């Protein structure tokens, strides 16, 4: 393990710096920046509309900017892991041929790959989990205090505040290792791992709303569709309970008041995930991703065995 850390020292130091900077920024965001922005919003809300008003606008803007940057940092972390795993963890060693030297010194290919996945997996889970936890603390610190605070169901906020990034990072680690073994070219494996992880995340994003039963909110014609959260489906309801296509825009419920209404329509429905579904959705999606990560790891071991099996079926350099 010590030799592995020394071999990948630049990546370890770079990742440590990334986690420390992002973590410090999140602590700053959830503490002094949130307090300053909340105070500025309190001053602004106390202003009379017809009188001059003085409030700290810079504090509000700075809080929004730092929140954007730190959220992006949490979300990009799995891609950094995937790119490193593909380009350096296995891709560089198989491309240069140095891995064969390790196999001639009594280290079996299976043990070599296991050593490259075990410690990085622990460090990846711990560091990304720390960033997610700090992000959640920073976001909840501004709830009810900052008028421009992102709601929990804002897409970047939702993903950065749960376990999905941790599971994605582990899937990126094993997927990158597999890409390195298959392509045996560091740059090609790096690119493939990052692109594959993006595709995996897109698939999870489409699947996630259907991983947990939704809650239905019904409202009358005057109110329009009601209920906030992750909206899965919405539309009009007839007196017989039939559902009709949506008559209003997703982000403009007021359009429902002016939209042409079918005579049989008596109200609206909205199928959604409320705030109480935050953790069930994250944990279910993370479980799916961990299964994918395990399958990718098994595929990596299988590929390695096929490429190193000698004539007698024993592991050895190809």
pLDDT at 98: 67
pLDDT at 92: 72
pLDDT above 80: residue 264: no
Give the residue, 228 or 66, on which the prediction is more confident.
66
pLDDT at 181: 87
| Pairing assessment for the beta strands 243-244 and 230-238 based on DSSP bridges | antiparallel
* Span 162-216, pLDDT tens digits: 999 999 999 999 999 999 888 888 888 899 999 999 999 999 999 999 999 999 9
Give the residue, 105 or 46, on which the prediction is more confident.
46
pLDDT at 312: 39
pLDDT at 51: 66
pLDDT above 90: residue 79: yes
What confidence tier does 152 reach under pLDDT thresholds 50, 70, 90? very high
pLDDT at 133: 96
- Please state the rounded mean pLDDT for residues 8-16: 83
pLDDT at 302: 92
How far does the chain reach from its first CA to its final CA, in angstroms?
25
Q: What is the DSSP string of the chain?
A: -HHHHHHTHHHHHHHHHHHHHHHHHHHHIIIIIHHHHHHHHHHHHTS-TTS-----HHHHHHHHHHHHHHHHHHHHHHHHHHHHIIIIIIHHHHHHTHHHHHHTTT--HHHHHHHHHHHHHHHHHHHHHHHHHHHHHHHHHTTTT-TTPPPTTSHHHHHHTSSHHHHHHHHHHHHHHHHHHHH--HHHHHHHHHHHHHHHHHHHHHHGGGSS--EEEEEETTT-S---SEEEEEEEEETT--EE---SBTTBTTHHHHS---TTEEEEEEEEE-GGGHHHHHHHHHHHHHHHHHHHHHHHHHHHHHHHB-TTS-B---
pTM: 0.86
């Amino acid at each position: 393990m010590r030799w592995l850390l020394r071999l990948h020292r630049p990546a370890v130091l770079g990742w440590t710096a990334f986690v420390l900077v992002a973590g410090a920024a999140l602590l700053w965001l959830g503490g002094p920046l949130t307090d300053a922005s909340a105070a500025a919003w309190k001053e602004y809300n106390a202003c009379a509309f017809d009188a001059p008003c003085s409030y700290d606008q810079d504090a509000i803007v700075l809080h929004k900017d730092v929140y954007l940057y730190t959220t992006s940092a949490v979300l990009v972390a799995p891609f950094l892991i995937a790119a490193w795993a593909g380009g350096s963890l296995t891709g560089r060693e198989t491309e240069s041929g140095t891995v064969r030297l390790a196999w001639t010194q009594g280290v079996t290919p299976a043990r070599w790959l296991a050593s490259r996945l075990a410690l990085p997996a622990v460090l990846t889970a711990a560091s990304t989990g720390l960033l997610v936890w700090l992000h959640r603390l920073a976001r909840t610190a501004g709830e009810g205090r900052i008028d421009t605070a992102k709601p929990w169901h804002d897409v970047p906020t939702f993903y950065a505040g749960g376990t999905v990034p941790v599971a994605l990072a582990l899937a990126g680690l094993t997927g990158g290792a597999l890409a390195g073994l298959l392509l045996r070219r560091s740059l090609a494996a790096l690119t493939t791992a990052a692109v594959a992880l993006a595709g995996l995340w897109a698939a999870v994003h489409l699947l996630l709303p259907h991983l947990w039963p939704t809650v239905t909110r019904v409202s009358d014609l005057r109110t329009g569709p009601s209920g906030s959260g992750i909206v899965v489906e919405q539309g009009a309801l007839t007196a017989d309970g039939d559902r009709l296509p949506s008559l209003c825009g997703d982000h403009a419920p007021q359009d429902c008041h002016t939209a042409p209404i079918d005579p049989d329509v008596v109200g609206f429905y909205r199928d959604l995930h409320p705030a109480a579904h935050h953790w069930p959705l994250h944990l279910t999606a993370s479980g799916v991703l961990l299964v994918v990560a395990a399958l990718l790891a098994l595929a990596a071991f299988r590929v390695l065995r096929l490429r190193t099996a000698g004539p007698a079926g024993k592991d050895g350099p190809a």
